[in-house]
Structure 1
Amino acid sequence: MNPDLLWTLALLAGAVTLFVIGKPRMDVVALLVLVALPLSGVLTVQQSLSGFSDPNVILIAALFVIGTALVRTGIAYRLGDWLVKKAGSSETRLLILLMLAAAGLGSVMSSTGVVAIFIPVVLGVAARLRISPARLMMPLAFAGLISGMLTLVATAPNLVIHAELRRAGLEGFGFFSMTPVGLAILVLGIGYMLLTRRWLQHGDAQGESAAPRLTLTDLAQAYNLEERERRLRVQINSPLANQPLNELELRQQYGINVIAVERQGKFRTLLLMATGNTQLQPGDVLLVDLISPSIALLGIYQTLGLEPMPLPHSYYSVHAHELGLAEVAMPPESQLIGKTIQELGFRSQHKLNVVGLRRHGQALEGVLVDERLKASDTLLVAGEWKAIRRLQGLSRDFLVLSLPAEVDEVAPAARKAPYALLSLAVMIVLMVSGLVSNVLAALIACLLMGAFRCIDLDSAYRSIHWPTLILIVGMLPFAQALQQTGGIDLAVHGLVALLGDAGPYAILASLFAATALIGLFISNTATAVLMGPVAIATAQTLGVSPYPFALTVALAASAAFMTPISSPVNTLVLGPGQYRFSDFVRVGVPFTILVMIVSVLLVPLIFPL
C-alpha cells in the first residue's frame, strides 16, 4: 500500500468511528473530511469540493423544496389522512401501507425524492397517532431502497448494469426483469420491519425533554366533547332540507349545535363551516355538538329526518387541516365579562362556534348560551383556522391561549394543490421518460411550484436541510480518493483472487457481499460501475450466463441498509427519526444478510445459470 492509500483508509476509519460515537455532529465530521483530504495532498481543493456541484446533491436540495411545497398545499397531509384512514388505529397496518406506497412510487421515480416527500407525511401521522417517528422512518427508508429493486428505471445502478451488459454485446435487462425478486424482498422487508420496529425507539426518540404540545384531542377531552360529537345525514324527506340554519333553531329547540357540514363535491368531500345562512341540502352530513348527550334519541332523529352516521374518530381530528379548536380567555378589562354566550354572537361576528366553557378548571355541562361569563372562564371555540387566527388580533376583549399542535398542519396554499400535483406529475414524467436528467426534472418542478405560488422563496430556502447536504458532500470525495490511491483496484483484485473455483452460488454470494460492503463507502452508482464489469467478466470466465451475476450486483447496489451514510435515503431519515449510527447497524446488517440469501436463491430461478 502507498502512503496516500494508507492515509485515505485511516481518514475513512476515523470518520466512521466518529459517526459511531456520535460526537461531533455528522455534518461537522464531513467538513473535517473536506479539509483533511486537500491538506494531505490526496485530492486538490477543487476535487474535495466537487460534491457541491454533484447533481445528486442539487437533486436532494430540490426535492426538499418540492416536499415542502406539497406540505404547504396540503397534499402531504391528505396523503397522511389517507394512510390514517386506511390504517385506522393500527400501527401495523400503517407501516405496511407506508412501505407499499413508498416502494411503489420509488419504482418509477427517484427513491430519494419519494422519501423526501414522505418525511413530512410520516412526521404528521406519527404526531397524530402519538407514536414515535423512529418506528416509521427507518421502514420508510428501507422501502425507498427496496424500490430500486423493482424496475429498471428505479435507480441509477440498474441502468449502469444494463449499460454494461449492452457494452459487452449482450441484450440488456427488461423494464420488469428484476421485479419478481424485488417484490419478494419487499414482502420480506415489511415482515422484518414489523418484527424489529421495537428496536428503533429509545428514550429520547419522542423528545421527552420537551413539553408535549396541546392537541385537538386534548382540548376535546378537557371539555368533554367526545361524548357529544355526532354525524347526522340529512335525508331526502327531511324537513331541514333546503332551509337555512338560523330559521331552524336546532340549538334552542333540540340542543343540536351544528359545527360544520360535509357536502359531497364533484371530486371530493367539501367541509363547510356552519353559519346562520348555511342552507342544508339532502345528503349533507352534519357535524354536530349535542348540548346534552341525553337528547340523542332515535325519535328526534326520525322527526328531523336525520340518519346517524358512523364516527370512528373525533371529527376534529379527521378534519384537523380545516376545522380547528382554540381556548379563549378574557382579560380583566374585557367588556364581555357579564354577558351571555348568546349575546357574544360568536357565530355571526367571528364565524366561530362556542362548544365549551370551563370555570375554575371544570367543564360546564348543559345549555351554555344563557350562561353569563366570569373573569376566570375560558371558552372553547370551533371553526376555520383562519377565523381563529383573526380572533388573535382582538386582544382587547379576547386572549387566544396556546394553539393546538395541529395548527402547524394547516396548509397556507391549499388552493394551489392542483398546481402542485401538476408540477409533481411533470417531474415524474420527465424522470420516467428520460427526456432530461433527474436533477433538471426536479429543478423544473421547483420553478413550476414557484411560478404557481405553491411555495415562496423564503419557504424554499428554509426547507433545505443543510446538515444532510453537507454530510453527503463531505463523503462524496472518498470515492475519488480511493480510486486515485488504488484502493478500489486493490479491493476488486482481492475479490477476484478469492473467488477461485467456488461454486456459482458461492460466487453470487461473494459478489453481493463485496458490492454491499463497497457501497458502504462510495455511492451505489459508483459501486455498480466498479462491480458490473467484474460480475460479467467472472461469468464469462466460468462459461455461465452473465445475467444472474449482473442482476445480483444491481440488487446489492440497492441494499444499502447497513449505515446511515451508505445511501442518501438513509441520511434523510437520520434526523427526523432521531437515530444513532448503531441503530442502522443493528437493524440493517441482519436484513442485508437476509436480502443476500433471498437474492442468491431467487436470481438463478429467473435467469438460469
Structure 2
Amino acid sequence: MQLDMIVTLSVLAGAAALFVSGKVRSDLVAICALVILVLFDILTPTEALSGFANSVVIMMIGLFIVGGGIFQTGLANIVSGKLLKLAGTNETKLLVTVMLSTSFIGAFVSNTGTVAVMLPIVISLAMSANVSPGKLLMPLAFASSLGGTLTLIGTPPNMVIRETLAKNGIAELTFFSFTPIGLVCLALGTVLIIVFSKWLLKSRTDEDGSRSGGQSVHHLAQRYSLTGHLYRVQADSKSGIVLKPLKELSVLQQYGIHISEVRRKTSHKNPFFKTINGEMAGPDTVVMDQDILYVKGTFQQVEAFAEDCGLTLLDHQATERVGGAETDGYASAENGIAEVLIPPNSKHINQLIKHSGFREQYSVNVLGIQRKGEYVLHGLKDEKIRRGDALLVQGTWKNIAVLSNEQADVVVVGQPQETAASMPLSHKAPLAGGIMALMVALMIADLFPAVISVMIAAVLMVVTGCLRNMDSAYKTVNWESVVLIGGMIPMSVAIEKTGAASLISQGLVDSLGSAGPLALLAGIYFATSTLTLFISNTACAVLFAPIALAAAVQLGVNPVPFLFAVALASSICFAVPFSTPPNALVMSAGRYTFMDYVKVGLPVQLLLGVAMVALLPLFFPF
C-alpha cells in the first residue's frame, strides 16, 4: 500500500507539472495519468473508466447541449441585451452584474447548471460590450460556486455537513442557515475576483463565427452599407397592398425600391411562444395584415411608397444586431447574403442585372455591386455586369449553396452551408427559454436527479429544433473538458484507495489538536481546501466532516464552525480547472491555460480562506 501511495502521489505531481507547463493538452495528460494507475494495478479497469460513467460528466455533456440551444436560438443575445442595458459597457459594472446574477441563480441551482445557463449569455454579452469573454467567464465560474454557499441546497457539501450534524444530534440546519456567512463570503469573493481578474486575466480575442469567405455576414452588410438603405414598413388591414402579390404592385418600377423580405407572426394564441417567420420576397409573395416589409432604397423613395400604400414606417432605419450574428432584413436562419465574383469567362459579363437571370434561375436578388473599390447600390436593374465585378446577392441559404455550384459563371465566396449553420434560429428563442426554465424548475423541485433534469432539457433542445440536428448538438460539446473531468475523477478514487487522503487528514488533527480551536479550524479548512484541488468537493466534505466533528468533540468545543469550515472550503475551489465542473466548462470558451486559474484562483482561494477562518468563530462561537 505504501508503494501504491507513492506512485499515486507521483502521478498526481507529474500531471500537475504538465498542466502547469501547458505544453501537453490537458485531456491527454488526464488519460495518461489514468493509464499509468491501471498499469500499476492501483485502479481496476472498471474504476479507471468510472469517471466517464459519472453523473457529473454526463451532466456536463447535457449542459453543453442546453447551452448550445440557448446560443443557437439567439436567446443568449436577448438576455445579454437586457444585462447590457443594466450594466452598460463598463467592464467593472459588467463583472459585478454577471457575478451577482450568477450567484443568485447558484444559490438555488447546482453550480454546473448555473454556469451552463449563463455561459452563452455571458459570451454574447461580452461580444456586445466589445469585452473579451476571457475577462468574464472565469469570474462567472467562481461566482457560481460562491452562490452555492448561500443556501442549504446551493452545493452538495452543505447537505453533507447538515446530515453529519443532524445524525449526531448537534444542530438542525435550515435552508437559510448558510446565508449570513454566505453573504459575507460572496461580498469578499466578488471584490477579490474582480480585482485579480482585471489585473491578471489577459484579453483574448476570437474570430467571428459566422463567416462568408473570410468575412462575416455582419461585415458584408457594413461594407456594402446595406443598413443605411434598409427600412421597415408595416401593413395593416387598410393598406392598399394587403392580399396582393408583389408582382402586381410594380414597386421597383414605380418607386425604385426593392422589397427584400417579409416577416409575419405565425402564432397569435400562445403569448409565450409567438414566433416570427421570415421569407424571401418574391413575385408571388402575398402581403398580409400586420406583415413587416424590409425595404431597400432611399428614405424619400420608401416614404413615398409608405404614404401611397397606407403603410406605417416603423423606424428611420432598420439597424443591425451588433451583438449577434444576425443582420436584420438580410440574414437569418433561412435567408442570407453572400458575395459573388464574376470570372473572366462568365456568360454574365456585359449583361444587364435585370437580364442576368439571377432571380429567375437561382432565386437570389442582387443587392449591390462592388466595382474597383466603389459600391453601386441604386438603379441596379439597368447596370451592366463587368469583368472583375463582385455582386452581393441575397436568397435562401439553400439557393445560395446551389449558386455556389455554378463555378463556370459565378464564384461564391465562402461556404454558404457553414455560414447558414451558424445563423441563429431566432424564432425558436421562446421555446429555448421555456426549456431552460423547465430544467431550472426540475432542479429546484428535485423531482429527478439533476443529471436526468439536464438530459431531459438536452433532448428537448434537439427534438424541438432549437438545435438543427444531433450533429449540431455534438458540435456544442467541448470534449476536451469532458475528457479532462472524466479522466481526473478516478484520481480521487486512487487517493482514497491508497490511504493518502486519510493519512493526511488524520495527521492534521494529531498535529494541530493541541494548539487550540482556532489553529485546528484553520488546519481543517486549508487541508480541505488543498484536497479540493485533486478530488471532488463532495468527496472532500464526506471525508473531512466526521474528522472535523471528532476533533471538535475531542477538544470540547462547538462542532458547528468546524463543519461550516469543511463546507466552505469544499465549495471555494478556484485554483485549478478540474477542481469543479464550472471551472472546466469555461476553460475552452475563455481560452484559459492552467496557469490562469493558478494566478487568479489561488490567491482568491487563499485570501477567502483566511477571511473565513477569522470570521467563522464570530458567526458560530466555539
Is the TM value for this pair above 0.5?
yes
Equivalent pairs, count: 601
2:392 corresponds in structure 1 to 380
1:324 corresponds in structure 2 to 336
Q: How does 1:412-561 map to 2 (within 5 A)?
A: 427-446=439-458, 456-461=469-474, 463-497=476-510, 499-500=512-513, 508-541=521-554, 545-561=558-574
The more displaced of 552-561 and 494-503 is 494-503
Q: How does 1:324-343 map to 2 (within 5 A)?
A: 324-332=336-344, 334-343=346-355
Q: Cα distance, 1:522 vs. partner?
A: 1.0
**Residue type at the aligned position of 1:139:** P
Contact map agreement 2:133 2:204 (CA 8 A) in 1: no
Q: Deviations over 1:141-195 (max 9, x none)?
A: 2233233224333332222222212222245433343345445545555555554
Q: Cα distance, 1:585 vs. partner?
A: 0.9
Q: Deviations over 1:52-103 (max 9, x none)?
A: 33332333234344444555xx34x322343145416726365555445544
Find out whether 1:174 has 2:187 as its counterpart. no
Find out whether 1:579 has 2:592 as its counterpart. yes
1:288 to 292, 295, 301: 295
1:90 corresponds in structure 2 to 89
1:392 corresponds in structure 2 to 404
Q: Deviations over 1:273-294 (max 9, x none)?
A: 452455556765544333x46x
**Residue type at the aligned position of 1:222:** R
1:221 corresponds in structure 2 to 222
SS of residue matched to 1:388: helix
Contact map agreement 2:506 2:547 (CA 8 A) in 1: no
| Structure 2 runs not aligned, ≥5 long | none
Normalising by structure 1, what TM-score? 0.82
> How many Å separate the matches in 2 of 1:83 and 1:461?
25
Q: Deviations over 1:414-472 (max 9, x none)?
A: 77777766665665454433344333444455555566675655555555444333322
2:20 corresponds in structure 1 to 20
> How many Å separate the matches in 2 of 1:282 and 1:186?
52
**Residue type at the aligned position of 1:565:** F
**Residue type at the aligned position of 1:437:** P
Q: How does 1:205-354 map to 2 (within 5 A)?
A: 206=206, 213-232=214-233, 245-261=246-262, 263=264, 266=268, 267=271, 268=274, 270=276, 272-273=278-279, 275=281, 276=283, 278=285, 285-290=292-297, 292=298, 295=300, 306-307=312-313, 309=315, 313-314=319-320, 317=326, 319=328, 321-322=332-333, 324-332=336-344, 334-344=346-356, 352-354=364-366
Contact map agreement 1:181 1:603 (CA 8 A) in 2: yes
> How many Å separate the matches in 2 of 1:17 and 1:512?
25
Q: Deviations over 1:103-151 (max 9, x none)?
A: 4444444332443455555556656766533223312322332332243
Q: Cα distance, 1:500 vs. partner?
A: 4.4
> How many Å separate the matches in 2 of 1:229 and 1:96?
37
Contact map agreement 1:107 1:153 (CA 8 A) in 2: yes
Contact map agreement 1:262 1:269 (CA 8 A) in 2: no
Contact map agreement 1:326 1:381 (CA 8 A) in 2: yes
SS of residue matched to 1:153: coil
Contact map agreement 1:64 1:117 (CA 8 A) in 2: no
Contact map agreement 1:205 1:578 (CA 8 A) in 2: no
**Residue type at the aligned position of 2:24:** P
Contact map agreement 1:336 1:373 (CA 8 A) in 2: yes
SS of residue matched to 2:222: helix
SS of residue matched to 1:380: strand
Q: Deviations over 1:493-525 (max 9, x none)?
A: 343245447676665554433322110111111
1:593 corresponds in structure 2 to 606
Find out whether 1:37 has 2:37 as its counterpart. yes
**Residue type at the aligned position of 2:374:** Q
2:374 corresponds in structure 1 to 362
- In structure 2, the CA distance between the partners of 1:389 and 1:59, relative to structure 1 (3 Å rule), is same
The more displaced of 119-128 and 222-231 is 119-128
- In structure 2, the CA distance between the partners of 1:297 and 1:460, relative to structure 1 (3 Å rule), is closer
Q: Cα distance, 1:376 vs. partner?
A: 1.9
SS of residue matched to 1:575: helix
Find out whether 1:10 has 2:10 as its counterpart. yes
Contact map agreement 1:238 1:306 (CA 8 A) in 2: no
> How many Å separate the matches in 2 of 1:285 and 1:604?
64
* Pairwise CA RMSD: 4.1
Q: Cα distance, 1:243 vs. partner?
A: 6.2
Contact map agreement 1:149 1:179 (CA 8 A) in 2: yes
> How many Å separate the matches in 2 of 1:280 and 1:165?
69
- In structure 2, the CA distance between the partners of 1:363 and 1:189, relative to structure 1 (3 Å rule), is farther
Contact map agreement 1:326 1:403 (CA 8 A) in 2: no
> How many Å separate the matches in 2 of 1:161 and 1:515?
13
- In structure 2, the CA distance between the partners of 1:96 and 1:68, relative to structure 1 (3 Å rule), is same
SS of residue matched to 1:355: strand
- In structure 2, the CA distance between the partners of 1:236 and 1:497, relative to structure 1 (3 Å rule), is farther
> How many Å separate the matches in 2 of 1:243 and 1:187?
62
Q: How does 1:106-185 map to 2 (within 5 A)?
A: 106-116=106-116, 118-119=118-119, 131-183=131-183, 185=185
- In structure 2, the CA distance between the partners of 1:607 and 1:6, relative to structure 1 (3 Å rule), is same
Contact map agreement 2:30 2:488 (CA 8 A) in 1: yes
Contact map agreement 1:104 1:147 (CA 8 A) in 2: yes
**Residue type at the aligned position of 1:175:** F
> How many Å separate the matches in 2 of 1:247 and 1:195?
64
Contact map agreement 2:117 2:436 (CA 8 A) in 1: no
The more displaced of 535-544 and 545-554 is 535-544
